[in-house]
Amino acid sequence: MTKFSDLQLDPRVLQAVADAGYETPTPIQAQAIPPALEGRDVLGIAQTGTGKTASFTLPMITRLANGRARARMPRSLVLAPTRELAAQVAENFDAYTKHLKLTKALLIGGVSFKEQDALIDRGVDVLIATPGRLLDHFERGKLLLTGVQIMVVDEADRMLDMGFIPDIERIFQLTPFTRQTLFFSATMAPEIERITNTFLSNPVRVEVARQATTSSTIEQKLMAFAPSRRDRAFAEKRALLRELIKSEGDGCSNAIIFCNRKMDVDVVAKSLKAHGFNAAPIHGDLEQSVRTKTLDAFREGELRLLVASDVAARGLDIPAVSHVFNFDVPSHAEDYVHRIGRTGRAGRQGKAFTISTPADDKYLGAIESLIKQPIPRGETPVIEFDDSPDRGEHRQPRSRHSSRDRDRDRSSRSDRAPRAEPVAAAAPEAEVAAAPRREESRREETRREEPRRDDRREPRRDDRRDRRRDEGPSVAGMGDHVPDFILRSFARAAAMETAEDAAE
């Protein structure tokens, strides 16, 4: 078995690794560090939790250990898709450079340009950034990328999802042709393959733990249920979620609850809080300071339930999560693997519950064929739901899907035009008082979460077109060419609805 001391790392880096308590390199580290130290390009196909961050930071630090940064000309660059991931990489750098004198700057949205400019002006060895913020600095004339000797692209597949690929291409073009590139992605979509073929030079390909694998330390359960009425689906799912959490008792020490939509993240967190659970939301529309505070509280064990969107939670390093609850079945099969991978880490046992309704059949099929196994069906608990004349009664939601349910749900999914609906009966939960019209528009809001504007630059036209294609069925009667201003007006309406929900 390879030992860290076999890896030709700088002794000061080895000391920091020992201080971190690592005994042996993980497979991606053992395979990626030697070629990276030789200055070769590396294409790492690995998901989060494999130790991939150290697999690029340790050789980078060793290679940068001797030499000095010049004003405005960083010697290396790490690009990460979200602020949290960038901040996490920065923390890793701090830990591994503790016995060296290397400087770093973190360029992310939500932090003042002035502070960041001052660091860059002084000269940094390592610049860690989200692509949008980096290009903003570049365009303001504050930054030169011609001194970059090593460039890292982390979580490239998520960059693709978030529309960052044109930015990444541009950044590649602004750095010297002779740079070393370390490129990491959990999957190799054709677009990612194209980028690596264009910008990497004869890379060493290192692949660990295929994307489709789910850890054997995770007990998976699928909780299938059919809502009693379409306009109650959201509220009944929340009731079911509460029952699941309760039924796990103290065994559920902490959990991440995933929702597909940002606005649902807020409502689910608010609803859990209203029912006495210790819960808080995290998604891309929250202020950076709030996101950081929430995550810190979760890591410290002060917050038990973190309700999250995929983008916000992606790659976050939270070592001991006992449970993952998928409030929604993810519409991208790989997200299922990422989500449940938040538990059962480092040999610990974990549990992952997924709530599914008949409308999710298609997505479930894709997940099960990706992970090459059926998700074991759990027994859906009795839910207590008092939003009806049968108030307070225990009711067993139907757990088998009738074909009529399926058809009804499918037709509701493809019908994107907002529609007036009768007002709901009085509901005990404050947020359930939201009219079914809102419930309907939530269901229709199939758009995946996008980063905040300051984390992302205005996409190119072809990129916008691709994203629209990803957003699901086009608006009936408007053809494929929906003018942007119409899409914007939808987004505003959605934001207003979220604000209304939050106000209740």
In whole angstroms, the minimum distance from the beta carbon of 338 to ligand AMP comes to 12
Least distance to ligand AMP from the beta carbon of 19, Å? 12
Query: Based on CB atoms, which residue is closest to ligand AMP, 43 or 143?
Result: 43
| CB-nearer residue toward ligand AMP: 95 or 111 | 95
Write phi, then psi, for 232 (nearest 5 degrees): -105, -5
Q: Which is nearer to ligand AMP, 95 or 435 (CB)?
A: 95
Residue 103 contacts residue 76 (beta carbons within 8 Å): no
We find the least distance from the C-beta atom of residue 85 to ligand AMP, in angstroms, to be 9
Give the count of beta carbons closer than 10 Å to the beta carbon of residue 1.
Answer: 6
Tell me which amino acid residue 311 is: V
CB of 26 to ligand AMP, least distance (A): 5
Residue 95 Cβ vs ligand AMP, minimum distance, rounded to whole Å: 8
Structure-token pair, residue 309: 């969107």
Which of 147, 182, 139, 151 minimizes the C-alpha distance to 74?
Answer: 147
> At closest approach, how far in Å is the CB of 188 from ligand AMP?
18
Residue with smaller CB distance to ligand AMP, 20 or 478: 20
Q: How far is the CB of 289 from ligand AMP (least distance, A)?
A: 23
Report in angstroms how near the CB of residue 115 gets to ligand AMP at its nearest: 26
Q: Check the CA dihedral 91-93-96-100 and report its sign.
A: negative
Minimum distance of ligand AMP from residue 163's CB (angstroms): 23
CA atoms within 13 A on the CB side of 489: 4
C-alpha–C-alpha distance, residues 109 and 85, integer Å = 12
Contact 2/25 with Cβ under 8 angstroms?
A: yes
Tokens 């996008």 sit on residue: 450
The smaller minimum CB distance to ligand AMP, of residues 4 and 325, is found at 4
Q: Are 175 and 143 in contact (CB under 8 A)?
A: no
Query: Which residue, 61 or 432, has its beta carbon nearer to ligand AMP?
Result: 61
- Residue (347 or 422) nearer to ligand AMP, CB: 347
And the tokens for 425?
């009966």
**Identity of the residue, 92 or 180, whose beta carbon is nearer to ligand AMP in the bound complex:** 92
Q: Distance of alpha carbon 471 from its chain centroid, rounded?
A: 17
Please say whether the beta carbons of 245 and 327 come within 8 A.
no
Strands ordered across the beta sheet of 104-107 = 104-107, 126-129, 76-79, 150-153, 180-185, 42-45, 204-207
Q: What does the alpha-carbon distance between residue 375 and residue 329 come to, in Å, rounded to a whole number?
A: 12
Shorter beta-carbon distance to ligand AMP: residue 30 or 171: 30
Euclidean distance between CA atoms 309 and 317, whole angstroms:
15
Tell me whether residue 85 or residue 134 sits nearer to ligand AMP (CB atom): 85
Residue of 267, 265, 73, 296 whose CA lies nearest to 174:
73
- Work out the number of other CB atoms within 10 angstroms of the CB of residue 453: 11
For the chain, how big is the Rg over CA atoms in Å? 24
Which residues, 6+ apart, have CB-to-CB distance to 148 below 8 Å?
74, 75, 76, 77, 175, 176, 179
- Min separation Cβ 49 and ligand AMP, Å: 5
Closest approach, Cβ 342 to ligand AMP, in A, equals 11
Which residue's CB is nearer to ligand AMP, number 50 or number 260? 50
- Interaction site with ligand AMP (CB under 6 A): 22, 25-26, 29, 48-54, 317, 319
